[in-house]
């Protein structure tokens, strides 16, 4: 589908964050979510987690926040309508937050989130 405007896409990402199960959302620590058009080096990426997963944090005090980036253009490019986009944004948000929790791609694949 044609890319939707950035403000609307940001609403979809916000909705995905709001729809996360409360017990999962409560586990997030020192992480921000950003919306960008696409990854500079890997333009096909739907999202990316950049940081230190919770399972690897020993002496973490004073660190800058981890970052989850959700990419608008590739996500719009893999769907045919906004209903599919809503689903794909949610899956991407869950996938990247799982990395924040220390869950790797192999385990996400086993769980059906990759």
Q: What is the pTM of this model?
A: 0.92
In 3-state terms, what secondary structure has residue 5?
coil
Q: Is residue 45 part of a domain?
A: yes
Residue 113 pLDDT > 80, yes or no?
Answer: no
Specify the pLDDT at position 31: 92
Q: Which two tokens stand for residue 61?
A: 């005090």
Q: Is residue 1 part of a domain?
A: no
Specify the pLDDT at position 33: 96
Q: Is residue 24 part of a domain?
A: yes
Interval 16-65: pLDDT, tens: 999 998 888 888 888 999 999 999 999 999 999 999 898 888 776 777 89
Domain that holds residue 12: 6-111
Total structural domains within the chain: 1
Portion of the chain with pLDDT greater than 70, in percent: 97
Can you list the pairs that 35-40 forms with residues at least 24 positions away whose Cβ atoms lie under 8 Å? 35/6, 35/9, 35/10, 35/69, 35/70, 35/71, 35/72, 36/69, 36/70, 36/71, 36/72, 37/6, 37/71, 37/72, 37/73, 38/71, 38/72, 38/73, 38/74, 39/69, 39/71
Round to whole Å and give the CA distance between 41 and 58. Answer: 30
Q: Which CATH number fits the domain that encloses residue 39?
A: 3.30.2010.20
Specify the pLDDT at position 3: 97
Q: Is residue 63 part of a domain?
A: yes
Rounded mean pLDDT of the chain? 92
């Amino acid at each position: 589908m044609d890319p939707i405007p950035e403000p609307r896409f940001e609403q979809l990402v916000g909705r995905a964050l709001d729809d996360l199960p409360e017990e999962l959302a409560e586990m997030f620590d020192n992480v921000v979510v950003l919306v960008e058009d696409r990854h500079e080096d890997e333009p096909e990426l739907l999202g990316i987690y950049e940081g230190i997963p919770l399972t690897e944090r020993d002496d973490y005090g004073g660190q800058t926040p981890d970052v989850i980036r959700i990419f608008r253009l590739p996500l719009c490019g893999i769907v045919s309508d906004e209903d599919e986009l809503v689903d794909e944004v949610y899956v991407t948000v869950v996938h990247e937050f799982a990395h924040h929790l220390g869950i790797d791609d192999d385990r996400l694949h086993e769980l059906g989130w990759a």
